Chain A
Amino acid sequence: MSGRTTDNAPDSGPDGAPDGGPDGASGNGQGNGPGGGPGPTGVAGAAKALPRRRRRTHRVPVTLLLPALLGLAFLILPLVGLLVRAPWSGLSEQLTSTAVWDALRLSLICATAATAVSLVLGVPLAWLLARTELPGRRVIRALVTLPLVLPPVVGGVALLLVLGRRGIVGSWLDSAFGITLPFTTTGVVIAEAFVAMPFLVISVEGALRAADPRYEEAAATLGASRLTAFRRVTLPLIAPGIAAGAVLAWARALGEFGATITFAGNFPGRTQTMPLAVYLAMESDPEAAIALSLVLLVVSVAVLVGLRDRWMSTP
């Protein structure tokens, strides 16, 4: 992986700034083509390279094969367990209950809204990072990426401190406009967007860096302002990267738990999303929890299938 990143270092941008330190994640994503996610792309690439090598040597050392098979089992068995223990007979009943539908509906709406917020704010942010000589750009990129590695609960606490009723911005919103964000559906969207947006920004920035900036120059010589060039040339060119980033962000938002429960609470119908419902159901009604988990599993597989061309086809 590190070799891969180094190989791609020359593409890291016209500014000539070597991608290092906090940029590592984005450098990696970009190296694997426009819009590749930060981690999964590299993993998929490595997994694809393996069979080729095996064919050449014909023999796999046991010291590698054994842990590899163990790792495979470790990743797959829990999913198998979920399928085996699923209450298949009562599944339709479980899934048609209003509680499940409320949670699912809320999850889908909030994840979609959070993705929309991420798109509206994240694409321009990615452009700023990729195409301008912003002072302190590296620091800004590090800050943007922080929610990727930050425990979501900490994110939720931080959001409360800023947007909570007594928070720095929240108290002003409350007194000036009477707007309360925490423990509302809007709060769920905010918590999810906070956690999901970095995925989109990283993905789109990678796509922007991989896209030839000279197309924008060509547009400029044809009389296009920077905004027109972005809208009519850059945006269509990086559309696949934006789509991949949006799907990643959406999937992340859908599974968001920590920040949501901390900032928005767990009110059925208002802020109780699927993951929260699963967690709660485990205490009272494990069968319902399994059914809900299955739904999320199906959604995840659907996302994977949708992204298959982007992730699996990268060499």
Chain B
Amino acid sequence: MSTATASDAVPAPEAAPALDARLRVDRAAFTLDLALTAAPGEVIALLGPNGAGKSTALRALAGLLPLTGGHLRLDGRLLEDPGQRVHTPAEERPVGVVFQDYLLFPHLSALDNVAFGPRCQGRPKRAARAEAAAWLERMGLADHASARPGGLSGGQAQRVALARALAVRPRLLLLDEPLAALDARTRLDVRAQLRRHLAEFEAVAVLVTHDPLDAMVLADRLVVIEDGREVQSGGPAEVARRPRTDYIARLVGLNLYQGTAEGHQVTLASGTVLATTEELTGPAFVAFPPSAVTLHRERPQSSARNVWEVEVTGLDLHGDQVRADLAGDLPMAADLTPATVAELGLAPGSAVWASVKAAQTHAYPA
């Protein structure tokens, strides 16, 4: 069994995970190689930049894209294993998909869209429609059962799509950028509703997104992928607190540096030394939020040991804060109040001193 070795490499959260997959898809210029395991009821978010392979992974899970290697097992049943020439086509997988632009059938009413799955599973027309009506009811869409997708708002269409995917009673629910097509205001509502429905869902849900907030709110566990590979995984809080790549650091709004720790100091590749409160040895990350940075006209005579001379390269208004991009020995982003910016007379090109208190940095092993 070639699958045994592959799954051995994956630290399974429980004895028999509901989802046990190693997805390998070789393309001309791109390789996806991702191990995914999940317990029943768990919601996993695949987070990553565009082109990282998130959608490829989702399509592979759905059976819309054949694996070139690895395996896929759901509730102990082998769905795909190229090594054993096992491939279950999409229509025979207990998988439901909510597509990014929903792909509701435009010629069918909301009710018939939701009834489509049960009908395909051989339910009589009447039973299927009754079931669909119940799903729409649960989604708060009973009044829109006869509406065509063209007559639904973005949020309503999203819920119909979710109802349609859930109506096949999937053991694996896949959501591709479920909130990306919505405007900011609808998004907030729909996100809260989606969270409730996902919490009720008893099987595994895998959600693909490039929005860290969606991922953090909706998922129990994040799997961050870049270039087709997992670069970090863990609970939302863990990932947000201890980012391991620049991509995540940027998403969660942290300055992140990698170096070698020795006691209360981390030396970066550039030679810059950061003082930390944690005591570590070996490869380590140091992170601090932009709000931890203080800027000074003159070299500060404070207790902060982390002081660098930097140059302002850009100023941007973020809400009621000004985000300053700083270049120098330690490139970083700093959040300032407009008052500070005015007081210091900051403009692109200004040379200033930046200080960060050791207590506000966070160091962790790489």
Contacts and interface: CB of A to CB of B under 8 A. Distances in A.
Partners in one complex: yes
Interface string A254-268: 000000000000000
Given A222-B116, A223-B120, A214 B99 contact: yes
A25 interface: no
- Residue from the set B64, B96, B116 with the largest chain A CB neighbour count within 10 Å: B116
A15 to B, nearest CB: 15
Interface string A213-224: 011011111111
A215 B91 contact: no
B62 interface: yes
A299 B83 CA distance: 62
A121 B251 CA distance: 55
B283 to A, nearest CB: 43
A212 B103 CA distance: 9
B121 interface: yes
B116 A232 contact: yes
Nearest to A214: B103
Contacts of A8: none
Nearest to B115: A222
Contact of A228 (B89, B99, B120): B120
A218 B120 contact: no
Contacts of B106: 237
Interface string B102-130: 01011100000000110011000000000
Interface in B20-35: none
B97 A221 contact: yes
B95 interface: yes
A217 B90 CA distance: 8
Contact of B96 (A212, A221, A228): A221
A221 B116 contact: no
A236 interface: yes
A236 B90 contact: no
Nearest to A229: B91
Contacts of A237: 105-107
Contact of A217 (B64, B96, B105, B164): B64
A207 to B, nearest CB: 14
B168 interface: yes
Interface string B145-170: 00000000000000000001100100
A9 interface: no
Contact of A223 (B99, B105, B168): B168
A225 interface: yes
B103 A215 contact: yes
Contact of A224 (B62, B91, B164): B91
Interface residues of A, number: 17
B89 A219 contact: no
A303 interface: no
A233 interface: yes
B105 A220 contact: no
A233 B89 CA distance: 18
A221 B168 CA distance: 9
Contact of A215 (B90, B93, B97, B105): B105
Nearest to A220: B90
Nearest to B122: A223
A228 to B, nearest CB: 6
B179 to A, nearest CB: 18
Contact of B105 (A221, A225, A233): A233
B62 A236 contact: no
Interface in B41-90: 62-64, 89-90
Nearest to A228: B120
Given A215-B105, A237-B107, A221 B120 contact: no
Interface in A189-238: 212, 214-215, 217-225, 228, 232-233, 236-237
A221 B171 CA distance: 12
Contact of A220 (B64, B107, B164): B64
Contacts of B90: 217, 220-221
Contacts of B92: 223
B117 A222 contact: yes
B292 to A, nearest CB: 46
Given A217-B64, A233-B105, A224 B120 contact: yes
Nearest to A239: B107
- Residue from the set A217, A228, A236 with the largest chain B CB neighbour count within 10 Å: A217
A47 B103 CA distance: 35
A217 B60 CA distance: 12
Nearest to B104: A218
A212 to B, nearest CB: 8
Contact of B89 (A212, A214, A220, A232): A220
B90 to A, nearest CB: 4
A132 B292 CA distance: 58
A237 B105 CA distance: 9
Given A223-B117, A223-B168, A224-B120, A218 B107 contact: no
A222 B95 CA distance: 8
A227 to B, nearest CB: 10
A233 B164 CA distance: 15
Interface of B: 62-64, 89-93, 95-97, 99, 103, 105-107, 116-117, 120-121, 164-165, 168
21 contacts: A214-B99, A215-B105, A217-B64, A218-B105, A219-B105, A219-B120, A220-B63, A220-B64, A220-B91, A221-B64, A221-B90, A221-B93, A221-B96, A222-B91, A222-B168, A223-B117, A223-B168, A232-B116, A233-B105, A237-B105, A237-B106
Instruction: Give 10 nearest A-B pairs by CB, closest first.
Output: A223-B120, A222-B117, A220-B90, A218-B103, A221-B97, A236-B107, A224-B120, A220-B91, A223-B91, A223-B121
Given A223-B92, A236-B107, 9 more contacts: A215-B105, A217-B62, A217-B90, A218-B97, A218-B99, A219-B120, A220-B91, A221-B97, A222-B116
